[in-house]
Structure 1
Amino acid sequence: MSELLTLAGLSVPMRALRTLVAEYGDLPAPTVGVTTIYPERLELSLHKGLGEFEVWRAALDIDPGQVEFGEQAGNTWTLIATAPYAGAEVHLIAYGSALAGIRAGTGVGGGDA
């Protein structure tokens, strides 16, 4: 049986969040996640496109080569990276429309010639 995790057990990601707010309070606001499943992790999710990811990636000094690209259901692209920050593991993820989704929404081609 595992030991009960208290709120104090989540202090590492919360401290990292406080530090991020103090240092980078002018960056786009992410959705913030802290969980007992990964008590050392701070998750920052960006849902307004992939552009905000780059600003955060640069601020966290994440090497571009560490960024993973993914695709969900053919209409959503994801960028994911993890980096240490203020003692926590920061998991940065962004979601944006895939090119096919953008084309479908605008009626711009992309079909067979």
Structure 2
Amino acid sequence: MTTDTDSRNLTGAQTNAARALLAMVTAFPHLPAPRLRPDVLTPATAEGTHAWGVNVSIHDGLGHFEQWRAALGLDPDAVTAHLDDDFTNWLEVSGTWSGVPVQVIGYFRFTDPGEPQ
């Protein structure tokens, strides 16, 4: 249940995330284009609460994931791998960039060397 005081539901709460998103596009025009969106990230604070941040989703290879992780200064030791039985896999890392929570996700598939690509 949300209330009127729940900041996740206030348009103004998105302002910092939107500014950070614009700053990313401006600061890193040379990087591969990811899908960028303001989003409520969970948990995004040291207290474990939700906060507006920027989700950076990469679908074009793990090299692009690594470029964005490094550009945003996110700790490589904080990267977690999620491996699913249906071959949808992803790497994920969260942190803070310009004072705003960020989450970088790189999707990938393992391929069978015997299967045509």
Percent of aligned pairs with the same amino acid:
28
- TM-score, normalised by the number of residues in structure 1: 0.79
Correspondent of 2:116 among 93, 97, 106 = 106
Aligned length: 105
In structure 2, C-alpha distance between the alignment counterparts of 1:28 and 1:19, rounded to whole Å: 15
Alignment gaps of 5+ in structure 1? 108-113
Is 2:22 the partner of 1:21? Answer: no
Considering only aligned residues, what root-mean-square deviation do their CA atoms show, in Å? 2.1
Which ranges of 4 or more aligned residues in structure 1 deviate by more than 6 Å?
Answer: none
Residue deviations 1:19-68 (CA, integer Å, cap 9, x gap): 11111111111112223575422101001121110100110112211100
Which residue is 1:50 aligned to?
62
SS of 1:40's equivalent in the other structure is strand
On the 8 A contact 2:73/2:97 being kept in 1, the answer is: no
- TM-score, normalised by the number of residues in structure 2: 0.77
* 1:1-113 alignment, distance < 5 Å: 1-3=2-4, 5-35=9-39, 38-98=50-110, 101-106=111-116
Alignment gaps of 5+ in structure 2? 42-49
Higher helix share: 1
